[in-house]
Structure 1
Amino acid sequence: MDYPKFQHHGGADGVTGSCHRYIASPDHAVLVDCGLFQGQDADHLDSLEQHQIHFDLSAVFALIVTHVHIDHIGRLPYLMAAGFKGPIYCSEPSAKLLPLVIEDALKIGFTRDARLINQFLDTVSQQLKPLPYRQWHTILDDDQRKIRIKLQRAGHILGSAYVEVDLLNKTTGQSHRTVFSGDLGAPYAPLLPAPKSPYKADTLIIESTYGNRTHESRKDRRLKLKAAIEHALKNDGTVIIPAFSIGRTQELLYELEDLIYRGGETWQKMEIIVDSPLAAKFTQVYRELKPFWDAEAQKRLKAGRHPLSFDNLYTVNSHEEHLQTVDYLAKTGRPAIVLAASGMAAGGRVVNYLKAMLEDERHQVLFVGYQAQGTPGRAIQQYGPSHGWVELDGERRTIRAGVTTIGGYSAHADQNDLVHFVKRMKQWPCTIRLVHGDRDARQALKEKYHALGDSRHHHFNVLLPSNQ
């Protein structure tokens, strides 16, 4: 078959800005994700120009959203401004979460005019087409071709999906199965069932964020989380956790509730502070989406526990309250755990905590997610152990606080998981396109796939595409 063909308009030779064009014919194309560039991938001199839609939209009749992280859907306003009016397919939980993410993106990057924001959100809601998991849905059926899609749980954040796309050429009777991984989650993640491999793929487009690394086990990461917090308790300090508002924050609350449940009196007096109005909104939606939680979480609910709503949990809403909380914790040294956005410390309320506490050795900065190159989070992670410095809001801050990284809390599959995703397919792909990873990660994963193929005398054509 001459089709499908693929072009990548972000997220190919970097870890952000995911946007992949699936071309079924000269006149029919589908976008899979349309996200913002962040960190080193972003053009900080002209981000407006970088995020404009410069590729031809005339054949694009639909958008498929794998999940609602900003680096996968943040360019939606630009896409619609460029004239896209087609359906937006996503999972049922994603349909509830997406408007919150887009509203926040609009406020940060476009306008705070409530009327304009509401108009945009009304338009988006009309285009959203929520799909149940594990069911085929026909998105195109004409004289020459039929395209069906199926969403499968990806285990990355609530609502995340990998996408199977089936293209049937009615003239020749040939079909082609493409799988877009989106972001795959790690097994044993709190709240979410682990992703299961598809039956087959002819072409696989798969992320490689941790293509050259492996994670700690859940048991190890829980012990590290407990140790980092207890270390700060001894010092009368605060544990600052830069966390994405959606996904990571809710997983950490789930784990912290369990530590409090099993801990002694000191733990049961511990304040857990979520300083992010957006994270609080997402947490509320997560609670409403309990039917999509995994079996372990359902068991806790039946036992009368409330993993995302417990007595020690406090939410900071207004900006004034935020500044008061930062000042209070910095001055008093009252032990607390603060979860604040953004996850890579590239902006948001966590920056004020870092400015106030990074130079005080009583406190701890705890990273639980990927820190992209070029972000303050990566600099703190890299230079913190040697008491180097980081630039925050144009000022250098010496890093005297403790810095700990727990890899096991990553919401991304690691190298072993990415290999197993292919290995467990009944029919292996012929072509694998590695996206959403640094150069070293993609190259390491390419070698692993070649080794896997060699072990069963199967040739994988592993490509490292570039953004176009």
Structure 2
Amino acid sequence: MELQFYGATERVTGSCHVVRCAGKTILLDCGLIQGLAAEEALNREPFPFDPRDIDAVVLSHGHIDHSGRLPLLCRQGFSGPVFTQHATRDLALILLQDAARLEEYDVLRENRERRKRGEEPLEPLYTNEDVVEVINRMQTLPYDVRQEILPGIELRFQDAGHILGSAITELWLTENSETRKLVYSGDLGQYDSPVLNDPSSVSEADAVLVESTYGDRLHRERAETLREIGEIISSAARGGGNIIIPAFAIGRSQELLYLFGKYGDAWGLDEWQIYLDSPMAIEASRIYWDYPELYDSEARLMRDRLLEMPRPDNLHFTRRAEESKKINDIEQGAIIIAGSGMCNGGRILYHLKRHVERPESHVMITGYQAEGTLGRRLVEGNEAVEIHGRMYRVAAAVHTVGGLSAHGDQHDLLRWANGFDTRPAMYVVHGEDAPKRALAALLAESCGVRAEVPAPGEKVDLLVSRKG
């Protein structure tokens, strides 16, 4: 009975861990590696295991850094079920289809350059047909239901509060009459954030994998975050510019629409035109509205009263590329929400090309920016950035609104970890080096547990992992 760590050990993205029990092998997530070109090239490396040996996958949520290599896994021989929460299946379809489309586009562009150099062409990592294969393999479970998924292996999902359908995974593993409980946090949301419920508490475990994205820092208080957004909007209105918001299509875009609907009067949004310029975010918003049972009490009451989630009257959904291009003719008074959230592709790049050199415009960063991404360079205050092969001077005001993150901060992670009545061994993953080590030290101190930062490929014997 063992746990082996692979993805999201040396970096934040690419979550992937293996559990072996009673002759069966389970994969916890199978995510895409994102960031620098050299890191993304690792997605083409062989898996560190034979996909044909995997009996089942447990998917914590739909974000690409957790789900993005599932189609490749199937393409290379995996033929088992993928267990996930109901809403995650719906969101994974649009996320993975978008990833396949972008992959095919990037390979087409790369192959034009390779032909010029006389090099062999690349094949896409996967295609839409591979995505359909993955979705057809998904078996969904609601929260709070414990079910045997393989002989000797039982599974239960709890709400992680990160995005719609995100799950904390509880696994009961039995081998030779010995049972151990493994808990995988997936990605944990903030407490008291809008729309979704708080992360569920789990009281018992023998071993825990916990994420550490913000393991060494605190988010701004919610009230301060709301005040900051209001100030950005007021400043942009006075300066006569636009507000450009890179936003993840799943989670962040829906939260922004909710906040704009709720605080529109206070923020003077009637003077603006708001554009959700992302076909994927538009489709994801439809899925969000279809799952009111997963909202927190305030959002559920609002939806029941309005028959939909609150949204501004001056909100425009721009699905077609022609509509997106027309937005860039607007000189002022536009709030543009577009993907990708880390500015490493998608329509946001065209809006940044148009506005990043305009001192009257504002760029509002609302989520985590991985090392090597354009969003990270903007956050770090680079005076110039490269977009589509050309350098652009950064004259727009860049604001980092950390309080909107879908990831819990250090206090949130410690609060969740302190919910265990037992003293499980804790393994810190899904973070850059400094946050992982900072969180591990605090977990050992505040929870009185053995907390480790595992290396890629490291194995843990779950029968002896808990030493209390």
Alignment check: 8 A CA contact 2:437 2:453 kept:
no
More off after superposition, 226-235 vs 116-125: 116-125
Shift of 1:357: 0.6
Query: Which amino acid is the alignment partner of residue 151 of structure 1?
Result: F
Query: Which amino acid is the alignment partner of residue 99 of structure 2?
Result: A
Which of residues 32, 36, 52 is equivalent to 1:36?
32
Report 1:78-227 matches (<5 A). 78-110=72-104, 119-141=129-151, 146-169=152-175, 171=176, 173-227=177-231
Which of residues 350, 353, 365 is equivalent to 1:352?
350
Shift of 1:303: 3.3
Report the 3-state secondary structure (helix = DSSP H, G, I; strand = E; otherwise coil) of the residue aligned with 2:218. Answer: coil
Task: Deviation per CA, 1:330-387: give whole Å up to 9, x if none.
Answer: xxx2212111001111111101111111111100001111111111111111115xxx
Query: Which amino acid is the alignment partner of residue 465 of structure 1?
Result: A
TM-score (norm 2): 0.90
Task: Deviation per CA, 1:74-107: give whole Å up to 9, x if none.
Answer: 1011100110110110001111111111111111
CA distance in 1, matches of 2:154, 2:64: 26
Which of residues 449, 453, 456 is equivalent to 1:466?
456
CA distance in 1, matches of 2:310, 2:200: 26
CA distance in 1, matches of 2:204, 2:385: 46
Report the 3-state secondary structure (helix = DSSP H, G, I; strand = E; otherwise coil) of the residue aligned with 2:39. Answer: coil
Shift of 1:200: 0.9
CA distance in 1, matches of 2:42, 2:283: 27
Shift of 1:220: 1.1
Alignment check: 8 A CA contact 1:188 1:194 kept:
yes
CA distance in 1, matches of 2:44, 2:96: 19
Alignment check: 8 A CA contact 2:104 2:127 kept:
no
Which of residues 412, 421, 432 is equivalent to 1:417?
412
Change (3 A) 1:447 1:334: same
Task: Deviation per CA, 1:248-280: give whole Å up to 9, x if none.
Answer: 1001111111111445xx422321111111111
Change (3 A) 1:138 1:324: same
Which of residues 18, 21, 36 is equivalent to 1:21?
18
Report 1:416-455 matches (<5 A). 416-429=411-424, 431-453=425-447
Query: Which residue number in structure 2 is paired with residue 242 of structure 1?
Result: 246
Shift of 1:126: 2.8
Report 1:225-236 matches (<5 A). 225-236=229-240
Query: Which residue number in structure 1 is paired with residue 269 of structure 2?
Result: 267
Report the 3-state secondary structure (helix = DSSP H, G, I; strand = E; otherwise coil) of the residue aligned with 1:168. Answer: strand
Which of residues 390, 395, 398 is equivalent to 1:395?
390
Alignment check: 8 A CA contact 2:100 2:131 kept:
no
Alignment check: 8 A CA contact 1:7 1:22 kept:
yes
- What RMSD in Å do the two structures reach over aligned CA positions? 1.9
Report the 3-state secondary structure (helix = DSSP H, G, I; strand = E; otherwise coil) of the residue aligned with 1:428. Answer: coil
CA distance in 2, matches of 1:43, 1:461: 27
Unaligned runs of 5+ in 1: none
Report the 3-state secondary structure (helix = DSSP H, G, I; strand = E; otherwise coil) of the residue aligned with 1:15. Answer: coil
Alignment check: 8 A CA contact 1:67 1:90 kept:
yes
Aligned length: 439
Shift of 1:48: 5.2
Change (3 A) 1:255 1:238: same
CA distance in 1, matches of 2:91, 2:354: 32
Report the 3-state secondary structure (helix = DSSP H, G, I; strand = E; otherwise coil) of the residue aligned with 2:232. Answer: helix
Report the 3-state secondary structure (helix = DSSP H, G, I; strand = E; otherwise coil) of the residue aligned with 1:245. Answer: coil
Change (3 A) 1:213 1:120: same
CA distance in 2, matches of 1:253, 1:369: 15
Alignment check: 8 A CA contact 2:157 2:170 kept:
yes
Alignment check: 8 A CA contact 1:270 1:335 kept:
yes
